[in-house]
A and B are shown apart, each in its own frame.
Chain A
């Protein structure tokens, strides 16, 4: 079975500091995609960052970057210079390359303190 595990139900960080959210996944697929989605209180899921498994280089999007360790099946999200607007639920998600569905983790609630 393909699963995504987020072991940190809640995290807290001071504004302007750096925080890392953890994610591990289990699959026998060799080609797949990984995502981090943000869900603020408005409920709308927003894509934060996307990583293709065949790319060794870690994806970055402004203040957001990932540490993708394919052998360890680990995909952590680092948020630098945290801002109050980063307060949200963060979901790690996985999809095999030929699939029609996203498999989500249970989420990490991030609180950025002023």
Chain B
């Protein structure tokens, strides 16, 4: 059973650029959630995809968007990067579109915006 993987590990972008982060779900999981973790803070929910549809969204602007593919892997896209977007981005996979049970987290992508 493979765990949740994310790529890339680290990324440096310039303000105004666009970035795509990738996440592969744990085998058998059909739900992917994305979180933003600023330095020294707890993760903040961005959105969740369940069976390729957005299932819920946190308080993030539309320039944060996502996709989920038939194999349940997922992408997080951020347009018009701002300095405050610098953070650790975590994805978590689970089943059933709900968070009642365990979510399995990936190791994260560290994004730095300069």
Contact = CB atoms under 8 A, between A and B. Distances in A.
Interface of B: 33, 35, 40-45, 48, 50, 55-56, 58, 88, 90, 92, 97-103, 105-108, 110
A110 B106 CA distance: 21
A40 to B, nearest CB: 10
A106 B99 contact: no
A102 B47 CA distance: 11
Contacts of B108: 43-44
A89 to B, nearest CB: 9
A100 B43 contact: no
B50 to A, nearest CB: 8
B107 A100 contact: no
A98 B43 contact: no
A50 B102 contact: yes
B105 A102 contact: no
Interface residues of A, number: 24
Contacts of A107: 40-42
A43 B102 contact: no
Nearest to A107: B42
A100 B102 contact: no
Given A50-B102, A95-B100, A106-B42, 4 more contacts: A43-B107, A46-B105, A102-B103, A104-B44
Most B CB within 10 A of own CB, among A50, A93, A101, A102 = A101
Contacts of B50: 100
A33 to B, nearest CB: 5
Nearest to A42: B107
Contacts of A33: 99-100
Given A91-B42, A91-B43, A106-B42, A100 B106 contact: no
Contacts of A93: 42
